[in-house]
Chains A and B, each alone.
Chain A
Amino acid sequence: MMNTQGKAIGMYIHIPFCQRKCHYCDFPSYAGMENYWEAYTEAVVKELTLKAEDFSQATIKTLFIGGGTPSLLPYRLIERILETVHSKYRVIPHGEATIEANPGTLTPDKLKTYRKLGLNRISLGLQAAQEDLLKKLGRIHSYEDFLHAVDLAHQNGFQNINADLIFGIPGQSLEDWRMTLERVTALDLTHLSCYSLKIEEDTLFGDLKNQGRLEEVEEELDREMYHMAIDYLAERGFAQYELSNFAKPHYSCQHNINYWECGEYMGIGAGAHSFARNRRFANTPDVAAYIGGIKTGEPLLSEDITLDMEDRISERMILGLRMNRGVDLEVLSLELNVDLEMKYAEKIEKLLAWKLVEHCGTVLKLTKRGMDLANSVFIEFID
């Protein structure tokens, strides 16, 4: 049995601060906590230091600084964190290293520092190309800001740039969505994430929905938008490789693929999740509690689950099937030492009959219909 030492793993660092909370966001991210930035950075540095010994043999193959809005922090704080990473961990040279940025927060100085620190991928939250929709979503930036940010990123040597987009926004027309896709594909981007808006509880949108003041768009329109994105982006050279992700050749996001392959990763910071030695655990999302826990030398966990064999099989299936390349049942059967074709024979037969999955040799993958109804597929692999 291999252990984490010696493995290539992903590293995720969470920066839970935002200038303002978006109306749809249910992530652990907080506005108005500037007073905590310094202390939080120190806590992250300490957590990195605390865990370094455990992972002394591991290699960091991908790095992802996410949020929140990491680009909101003064760059010297990011510098402090990344210097710690590089001094305490073995990081693969030129491995994918992403930072998330809000277009309204980027400056040339920040971008220069990011490059200098080895970051080579920028993920920009754009969401929509229409000012009214941006406003509705509670974004702090304009479409102009986004264009400017892309320019700045290019000027400072970033070639690998992603933009996050949202469709199915109440009030968004099919034409709005087409326009967004047209505009972003006219820029020199390498990656696009297109998310169907989900109205979550405990967000402003969630509250409005509960009050009957906001309605989710019709399923039909949502899917029309989704299909349009798949077809249109393919024409423009972005191949879909996961339910919500599209990339130019060789630019799919390695850090995220590691999640869907159930690879190991360490999460640093408040609310960050880790997966190592079949154990899924997460730091508390509460910033103050997180800082307090780290100070005692023991991170405070809000989740800690050890997966048994059934869990592992199930996760491999449902996460693997998210990717367009599907799951090679033969390969996975060998790896997990279980005959998956036999184990799931009845279920696969049913899913095939419903035309939700297709079999290509030993590979099982979602059909186009299956991508729309992926949960109906996934629940068959859950007990």
Chain B
Amino acid sequence: MGNERQQKIRNFCIIAHIDHGKSTLADRLLEKTGVLTAREMEEQVLDNMDLERERGITIKAQAVRMVYKAQNGEEYIFNLIDTPGHVDFNYEVSRSIAACEGAILVVDASQGIEAQTLANVYLALEHNLEIMPVINKIDLPSARPEEIIKEIEDVIGLEAHSAPQVSAKNGLNIESVLEKVIEVIPPPKGDEDAPLRALIFDSYYDAYKGVIAYVRLMEGSVRVGQTIRMMHTGKEFTVTELGYLRPGGIMPNDSLLAGEVGYICGSIKNVRDCRVGDTITRADNPAPEPLPGYKKAIPMVFCGIYPVDGSKYGDLRDSLEKLQLNDAALMFEPETSVALGFGFRCGFLGLLHMEIIQERLEREYNLDLITTAPSVIYKITKTNGETIELDNPTNMPDSTEIASMEEPIVKATIMTPTEYVGNIMELCQERRGVYEGMEYMEATRVILHYEMPLNEIIYDFFDALKSRTKGYASLDYELKGYKESKLVKLDIKMNNEIVDALSFIVHVDKAYARGRRMAEKLKDTIPRQMFEIPIQACIGNKIIARETVKAFRKDVLAKCYGGDITRKKKLLEKQKEGKKRMRQVGSVEVPQEAFMSVLKLDT
């Protein structure tokens, strides 16, 4: 049994699919609890990165403390821990969930449950969380709450008839959610006198305070001035500041106690020393065991990132370092490409993570980038018995030296309205998927299970899935393991020279089609130049596709009289600028789009 103090605390997260209204509901809860007045509220307080707001997803976990005066007259402390909404950040989700006693499951009253939502609900159930369904968007004409309630009961097996039916957008029935939280979600019950065990569920780098650890105290207590120890990394720090989290900021306090959620700073310089999932204990009275479930974030998707302007290499490095301060999952190391010059090999949790990093580099750090085709980690056993892990196709050994190769396989879960099942099966088959089964969620919606190579998913799969299901299907996947596979390296030669940045690894059965497609696409992207440029797709020495960019025959402005000079000069300047933006690959000038366009061959 928790003590009196803990009886008044509720720690919970919100699980929802993108667009189902998680952030809007969070906003309303904040508004109702009076942390902020409506006027002070910036829309969707919890998502504070621009990118998050634009994409409508949460990238980093966030947390906020609210004070709610309940109908019974008592004041309660609510700690809302927001969770990232995307499969790439699954691990962060699991840590956020581990910090809570309950979860609000927000389901769109017209859309129903989606793949990632379900995955996160299962994750929450694994952690013994109390799940509290909330039906949102009931104001929409297409709302069908009764069917959705049935779906929740059938698919998840949760009682949903008493679920609050709300419209977060219009602020309808928000009060009932808050009351329900007190009723349904259990209070924390950790022993405040036990040795400290605090779970780090997020961390954030602040230029003044160093790394700020977002923590949930499971047991014990901590005060400013005490020495803390990270149980997995063993690093020790002195607590310089701690306190509670409030929207868009912090609220210093002198101690944190079991059951509470807050932040701890200790002049921690590197986010790597403060890893999500690690347990903080006190050096003077350490806990015997860390909290369970810690794992290092492991990148699954890799690509090369190069500055368009080679002289910006230093800027790119600085920017990556800055991003890494806040993102322990981002990895990078220097790499050189014959075609692209100096750049970095970067590792990401998944495709979305990759896209977000690229966008942040371009947007927040004003860099123009070229990225190479994404790759996964392949395991290669060489004929001499040596095994290597390969994340860059350029480093693939000669085929004669390879005894066998393995590629990562994932379990993919796809939820879709039944009418698209055919399309999806076709797509999955094209992508070497192995059908594992299908379940009906309701009469018109199913869950499809596939086993699929990850390298097929990172390659434009998500876009293809969306376009073949009019955006209705949702996808979730998790790494299952490695499987032997017949893989080859496909090289692209331009003017008889291999362009290393365009090489990639592909299943042998798909190499021909992809090589052909790639050569065609490059032919369309590369402008005519002074000479004819053969473009070839090859496996080893074998040419499997060939296209030709014809030499250009005409590049002249026919008219140039007194009134044309300034204008024509501007056109020439523009032409010159365009040329400067191209990459010189051997003797061929390749526009950046060429490197990008080959990433999307299926569209």
Interface residues of A (CB under 8 A from B): 10, 12, 14, 195-196, 198, 219-220, 222-223, 243-244, 256, 259-260, 265, 267, 271-273, 275, 280, 282, 303, 305, 314-315, 318-319, 322, 354, 371-376, 378-379, 382
A-B interface contact total, Cβ < 8 Å: 87
The 8 residue pairs across chains A and B that have the minimum distance between CB atoms: A219-B553, A374-B556, A273-B563, A379-B576, A219-B554, A196-B558, A375-B555, A373-B555
Q: Which residues of A contact B601 (CB under 8 A)?
A: none
Measured as residues with beta carbon below 8 angstroms from the partner, the interface class of chain B is: 20 to 34
Q: Which residues of A contact B530 (CB under 8 A)?
A: 354, 373, 376
Known: A376-B530, A379-B576, A382-B569. A243 touches B558 (CB 8 A): yes
Q: Told that A12-B562, A220-B553, A259-B565 touch, could you supply 17 new A-B pairs with CB distance under 8 A?
A: A12-B563, A195-B558, A219-B553, A222-B553, A243-B560, A244-B559, A259-B560, A259-B561, A273-B565, A280-B566, A282-B563, A315-B565, A315-B569, A318-B572, A373-B555, A374-B556, A375-B572
* 12 A-B interface contacts by CB (under 8 A): A14-B563, A219-B553, A243-B558, A259-B561, A267-B562, A275-B562, A280-B566, A315-B565, A318-B569, A374-B556, A375-B575, A376-B530
Say which residue of B528, B561, B573 sits within 8 Å of A256 (CB atoms): B561
Classify the interface of chain A: helix, strand, loop or mixed.
mixed
Known: A318-B572, A319-B560. A280 touches B565 (CB 8 A): yes
Say which residue of A244, A271, A374, A378 sits within 8 Å of B563 (CB atoms): A271
Q: How far is B561's CA from A280's CA once the two chains are assembled, in angstroms?
A: 13
Residue of A nearest to B556 (CB): A374
B579 interfacial contact with A, CB 8 Å: yes
B552 interfacial contact with A, CB 8 Å: yes
Q: How far is B557's CA from A195's CA once the two chains are assembled, in angstroms?
A: 9
Contact A259 B566 (CB under 8 A): no
Q: Which residues of B contact A12 (CB under 8 A)?
A: 562-563
Say which residue of A303, A315, A373 sits within 8 Å of B556 (CB atoms): A373
Say which residue of A195, A243, A280, A382 sits within 8 Å of B573 (CB atoms): A382
Q: Which residues of B contact A273 (CB under 8 A)?
A: 562-563, 565-566
| Shortest beta-carbon distance from B546 to chain A in Å | 21
Contact A195 B572 (CB under 8 A): no
Residue of A nearest to B575 (CB): A379
| Shortest beta-carbon distance from B550 to chain A in Å | 8
| Shortest beta-carbon distance from A304 to chain B in Å | 10
Residue of B nearest to A373 (CB): B555
Q: Which residues of B contact A222 (CB under 8 A)?
A: 553-554
Contact B563 A267 (CB under 8 A): yes
Q: Which residues of B contact A373 (CB under 8 A)?
A: 530, 552, 554-556
Known: A196-B558, A243-B556. A379 touches B579 (CB 8 A): yes
Q: How far is B493's CA from A382's CA once the two chains are assembled, in angstroms?
A: 32
Residue of B nearest to A14 (CB): B563
Q: How far is B570's CA from A280's CA once the two chains are assembled, in angstroms?
A: 14
Q: Which residues of A contact B561 (CB under 8 A)?
A: 256, 259
Q: How far is B562's CA from A337's CA once the two chains are assembled, in angstroms?
A: 25
Q: How far is B565's CA from A248's CA once the two chains are assembled, in angstroms?
A: 26
Q: Which residues of A contact B563 (CB under 8 A)?
A: 12, 14, 267, 271-273, 282
Q: How far is B557's CA from A376's CA once the two chains are assembled, in angstroms?
A: 11
Q: Which residues of B contact A280 (CB under 8 A)?
A: 565-566
